Structure 1
Amino acid sequence: MTEKFNSLSIDNTFNSQKSKSISLRSSTAAERIRQLEKLQDWIKSHLEDIRKGIFADFKKPYPEIDASEIFVVTSEIKHAIKNIESWMKPTKVSTPLPMLGSNSHIQYEPKGTTLIIAPWNYPFNLAIGPLVSALAAGCTAIIKPSEMTPHTSALIKRMIEEVFEPELVAVFEGEVEVAQHLLSKPFDHIFFTGSPAVGKIVMKAAAENLTSVTLELGGKSPAIIDSHVDIQDAASKIVWGKYVNCGQTCIAPDYLLVQENIKNELIEAIQVKIKEMYDPKNKGISQSKDYARIVNDRHLKRMKNLLQDATLKGAKAVIGGEILEAENYFEPTVLTEVSDKMDVMEEEIFGPILPIMTYTNTTEAIQYINNKPKPLALYIFSNSEEVANTILIQTSSGGAVVNDCVVHFLQNELPFGGVNNSGIGKAHGHFGFLAFSNEKAVLEQRVGFIPSKSLYPPYNFIGKKISQALLKWF
Structure 2
Amino acid sequence: MSDAHTDPAALPAILQTLRTAWQANRPTLEQRRDDLQRLRAALKARLPDMAAAISADFGHRSTHESLIADGMTVLGDIDHLCGHLRGWMRPRRVGVGWRFWPARAQTRPVPLGVVGVISPWNYPVNLALIPLATAIAAGNHVILKPSEHTPRTSAFLQSLLTDVFPSDRVAVVQGDGDLAGALAGSPLDHLVFTGSTTIGRKVMAAAAEHLTPLTLELGGKSPAIVCSDYPLEKAAARLATGKFFNAGQTCIAPDYVLIDGHRQRELVQQLQTQVQARYGDFSDAADYTRIIHDGQYQRLRGYLEEARARGVPVIELAMVDPERAQRERLIVPTIVLDPPADLALMREEIFGPILPVCAYPDLDAAIAAVQSRDRPLALYVFSHERMQVERVLAQVVAGGVTVNDTLLHFAVNGLPFGGVGPSGMGAYHARAGFDAMSKQLPILWQSRWAASDLLKPPYSKIAVMLKAMVR
Task: Please say whether Structure 1 and Structure 2 have the same fold, judged by a TM-score greater than 0.5.
Answer: yes
| Whole-angstrom distance in 2 between the partners of 1:121 and 1:39 | 21
Number of the residue aligned with 1:381: 382
Shift of 1:365: 1.0
Change (3 A) 1:52 1:188: same
| Whole-angstrom distance in 1 between the partners of 2:163 and 2:376 | 38
Shift of 1:447: 2.1
Number of the residue aligned with 1:316: 313
| Amino acid of the structure 2 residue aligned with 1:41 | A
| Amino acid of the structure 1 residue aligned with 2:470 | L
C-alpha distance after superposition, 1:255-289 (max 9, x if no partner): 0011112112111111101111111xxxx225210
Whether the 8 Å contact between 1:118 and 1:127 is mirrored in structure 2 is yes
| Whole-angstrom distance in 1 between the partners of 2:25 and 2:435 | 16
| Whole-angstrom distance in 2 between the partners of 1:457 and 1:22 | 43
Query: Residue 107 in 1 paired to residue 104 in 2?
Result: no
Q: Map 1:243-392 onto structure 2 (within 5 A).
A: 243-279=244-280, 284-285=281-282, 287-320=284-317, 324-392=325-393
Number of the residue aligned with 2:400: 399
Number of the residue aligned with 1:460: 460
Whether the 8 Å contact between 1:24 and 1:138 is mirrored in structure 2 is no
| Whole-angstrom distance in 2 between the partners of 1:453 and 1:146 | 58
**SS of the residue 1:237 aligns to:** helix
Number of the residue aligned with 1:49: 49
| Amino acid of the structure 1 residue aligned with 2:95 | S
Whether the 8 Å contact between 1:54 and 1:65 is mirrored in structure 2 is yes
**SS of the residue 2:470 aligns to:** helix
Percent identity over paired residues: 36
Number of the residue aligned with 2:410: 409
Query: Which deviates the most, 311-320 or 204-213?
Result: 311-320
Number of the residue aligned with 2:173: 172
Shift of 1:358: 1.2
| Whole-angstrom distance in 2 between the partners of 1:460 and 1:188 | 47
Shift of 1:44: 1.7
What's the TM-score once normalised by structure 2's chain length?
A: 0.96
Shift of 1:45: 1.5
C-alpha distance after superposition, 1:74-133 (max 9, x if no partner): 111111111111110111112211011111111000111111000000001100110110
Whether the 8 Å contact between 1:380 and 1:401 is mirrored in structure 2 is yes
Number of the residue aligned with 2:21: 20
| Whole-angstrom distance in 1 between the partners of 2:150 and 2:452 | 60
| Amino acid of the structure 2 residue aligned with 1:466 | M
| Whole-angstrom distance in 1 between the partners of 2:127 and 2:25 | 24
| Whole-angstrom distance in 1 between the partners of 2:262 and 2:102 | 66
| Whole-angstrom distance in 1 between the partners of 2:397 and 2:166 | 42
| Whole-angstrom distance in 2 between the partners of 1:196 and 1:460 | 59
| Whole-angstrom distance in 2 between the partners of 1:184 and 1:411 | 32
C-alpha distance after superposition, 1:370-391 (max 9, x if no partner): 1110000000011111100110
| Whole-angstrom distance in 2 between the partners of 1:433 and 1:286 | 46
Whether the 8 Å contact between 1:314 and 1:337 is mirrored in structure 2 is no
Q: Map 1:135-150 onto structure 2 (within 5 A).
A: 135-150=136-151
C-alpha distance after superposition, 1:165-195 (max 9, x if no partner): 1110011111112112222310000000001
What's the TM-score once normalised by structure 1's chain length?
A: 0.95
Number of the residue aligned with 1:471: 470
| Whole-angstrom distance in 1 between the partners of 2:181 and 2:67 | 32
Shift of 1:471: 3.0
Number of the residue aligned with 1:189: 190
**SS of the residue 2:7 aligns to:** helix
| Whole-angstrom distance in 2 between the partners of 1:24 and 1:96 | 37
Change (3 A) 1:286 1:10: farther
**SS of the residue 1:109 aligns to:** strand
Whether the 8 Å contact between 1:73 and 1:125 is mirrored in structure 2 is yes
The Cα RMSD (Å) is 1.5
Whether the 8 Å contact between 2:307 and 2:314 is mirrored in structure 1 is no
**SS of the residue 2:405 aligns to:** coil
Whether the 8 Å contact between 2:338 and 2:359 is mirrored in structure 1 is no
| Amino acid of the structure 1 residue aligned with 2:226 | I
| Whole-angstrom distance in 1 between the partners of 2:140 and 2:283 | 45
Whether the 8 Å contact between 1:286 and 1:329 is mirrored in structure 2 is no
Number of the residue aligned with 2:121: 120
**SS of the residue 2:375 aligns to:** coil
Number of the residue aligned with 2:84: 83
**SS of the residue 1:375 aligns to:** coil
Shift of 1:8: 4.5
Whether the 8 Å contact between 1:24 and 1:139 is mirrored in structure 2 is no
| Whole-angstrom distance in 1 between the partners of 2:346 and 2:9 | 44
Shift of 1:307: 1.0
C-alpha distance after superposition, 1:6-58 (max 9, x if no partner): 23432221111111222344x32111000011111111221211111011011
| Amino acid of the structure 2 residue aligned with 1:256 | V
| Whole-angstrom distance in 2 between the partners of 1:382 and 1:261 | 17
Change (3 A) 1:165 1:8: farther
Whether the 8 Å contact between 1:188 and 1:212 is mirrored in structure 2 is yes
Whether the 8 Å contact between 1:286 and 1:331 is mirrored in structure 2 is no
Whether the 8 Å contact between 1:92 and 1:105 is mirrored in structure 2 is yes
Unaligned runs of 5+ in 1: none
**SS of the residue 1:285 aligns to:** coil
Whether the 8 Å contact between 1:140 and 1:169 is mirrored in structure 2 is yes
| Amino acid of the structure 1 residue aligned with 2:78 | I
**SS of the residue 1:34 aligns to:** helix
